[in-house]
Amino acid sequence: MVQRTADAPNILKVAERLGLLRRSAGHAPAIMAALCNPQTTAGQLATLIESEAALCARVLRVANSPYYGYSRSISSISRALILLGLDAVRGIAAAACLQHSLPRSRDKPLIDTQALMNHSVATAAAAQSLARIARPDRASEAFISGLLHNLGTVVQLQVDVPGVKAILDRRMLGDSRDIVELEADHAEIPHAECAAIIYEAWKLPDSMIEAARHHHSPAAAVGQSHQDLAALINLGATVALAAGWTFALEPHAGTRNRQAMALLGLDDPQIDAAAEQLPAQVTLLTSELRQA
């Protein structure tokens, strides 16, 4: 097993370099932190979003897209917040944050970052669908947590190049073990822990931090509520992988986590039903959430 030498300061340094920790008013992480704060008013959120022109344009474009199906044009952020709701706007901000953090080097990246993005979108859609069946009050949280569940991988690609390369080499040799097992053998720090560290810096809710940290092992999360969210992400990712939204580090779906299913009271037909809806959902979402 590789000795783990990367620590939180190193992770945060990389996150800073990727632009994930800037606290300017209109930057996506700051907006997401505000969206997760129940004390933030709709007026304050509108001001935050309007301070970032690109994000403002994206919210309005998505609000007027076929995905939401409103017949009249939505021309203001205040109106978009009313019609879409805070949850949808939070998802748009999350997509912006994830896309801005993806490597843009002229050199070929270690993995296909568009494939990683597509997997994240598919996981978000699947997790939200499963939440609507099992935990309707967690649907919005499931969406954003699914969308960002591999944010730690983006940081891992920068902070632990040898570890990521070693895992990719194992994949090329046909090693189909779970990514957690491969990380235990080769990585300095798991991608899930990288994400949890960034979430903590963003001051996101404990439920989202625990879901990020334990989405591969939901029962290890502290508290039933946190376990539920972690289980939704776990099963959402499995459904996404099984449907073909894979990437180099996770090229196989593996088996459905029966413990996660039991936590949520879900059965195979219910998960199959969510899987059937996924292609259409992902087609719309990848179109509407891509960079404007």
Asked whether the predicted pLDDT for residue 1 surpasses 80, the reply is: no
What is the pLDDT at residue 102?
A: 66
In Å, what is the CA distance from 132 to each residue of 88, 138, 271?
Answer: 15, 8, 11
Asked whether the predicted pLDDT for residue 78 surpasses 50, the reply is: yes
What is the pLDDT at residue 291?
A: 45
Query: What residue type is 173 in one-letter code?
Result: L
Structure-block tokens of residue 81: 């917040």
What is the pLDDT at residue 161?
A: 92
Asked whether the predicted pLDDT for residue 25 surpasses 50, the reply is: no
Structure-block tokens of residue 10: 């190193």
Q: What is the pLDDT of residues 178-198, one digit of tens each?
A: 999 999 999 988 999 999 998
d(CA 290, CA 157): 21
The share of the chain scoring above pLDDT 90, in percent, equals: 43
Give 104 or 216, the one with higher predicted confidence.
216
**Residue among 149, 150, 130 at smallest CA distance from 138:** 130
Asked whether the predicted pLDDT for residue 217 surpasses 70, the reply is: yes
Asked whether the predicted pLDDT for residue 147 surpasses 90, the reply is: no
Give 65 or 199, the one with higher predicted confidence.
199
Count CB-CB contacts under 10 A for residue 279.
14
User: What pTM did the predictor assign?
Assistant: 0.84
The residues that bridge with 250 in the sheet, in sequence order, are 247
CB-based contact 267:236 (threshold 8 Å) = no
Q: Measured over all CA atoms, what is the biggest interatomic distance in the chain, rounded to whole angstroms? A: 58
CATH number belonging to the domain at 10-289, selected among 1.10.3210.10, 3.10.200.10, 3.40.50.1820, 3.90.1150.10? 1.10.3210.10
